[in-house]
């Protein structure tokens, strides 16, 4: 969370136009945040991740995304963008889905 806060506290880096790279970066960063949240919620046992834990990891990541967009509203040179929040939520959801699928497969192979 500290890395995301630090990155959103300054002016945005120039990105190539027209490629939606910004949305990919948002999804990736919040996907990583969801993995870290899931790891913390499962006490490092992602193999034992439950739907409830992964829902909580997704919610933590998405709520932090909303807080980050609110923060950016007050940073000169930045803007709050609902599409960025959507990318945050989708990245976190994708990560939670991958963990859930992996945990089912991993538990089945025991």
Q: What's the pLDDT score for residue 110? A: 62
Give per-residue pLDDT as tens, 29-73.
Answer: 999 999 999 999 999 999 989 999 999 999 999 999 999 999 999
Residue linked to tokens 């939520």:
89
More confidently predicted of 29 and 13: 29
Q: What's the pLDDT score for residue 106? A: 86
Q: Please, which residues have CB within 8 angstroms of residue 21's CB and are 6 or more apart in sequence?
A: 15
Q: What are phi and psi of 10, to 5 degrees?
A: -115, -175
Where helices occur in 43-81 by DSSP H, the ranges are 51-73
Asked whether residue 10 carries a pLDDT value surpassing 80, the answer given is: no
Q: What are phi and psi of 74, to 5 degrees?
A: -95, 0
Asked whether residue 2 carries a pLDDT value surpassing 80, the answer given is: no
Q: What's the pLDDT score for residue 16? A: 65
Are residues 79 and 73 in contact, defined by beta-carbon separation less than 8 angstroms?
yes
Asked whether residue 97 carries a pLDDT value surpassing 80, the answer given is: yes
Q: Residue 69: exposed, middle, or buried by beta-carbon count in 10 A (0-12, 13-18, 19+)?
A: buried
Q: What's the pLDDT score for residue 30? A: 97
d(CA 57, CA 72): 22
């Amino acid at each position: 969370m500290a890395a995301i806060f630090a990155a959103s506290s300054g002016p945005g880096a120039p990105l190539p136009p027209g490629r939606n790279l910004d949305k990919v970066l948002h999804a990736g960063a919040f996907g990583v945040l969801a993995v870290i949240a899931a790891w913390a919620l499962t006490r490092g046992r992602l193999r034992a991740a439950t739907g409830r834990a992964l829902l909580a990891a997704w919610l933590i990541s998405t709520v932090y995304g909303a807080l980050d967009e609110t923060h950016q509203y007050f940073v000169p040179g930045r803007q709050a963008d609902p599409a960025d929040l959507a990318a945050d939520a989708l990245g976190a959801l994708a990560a939670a889905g991958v963990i859930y699928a992996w945990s089912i497969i991993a538990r089945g192979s025991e």
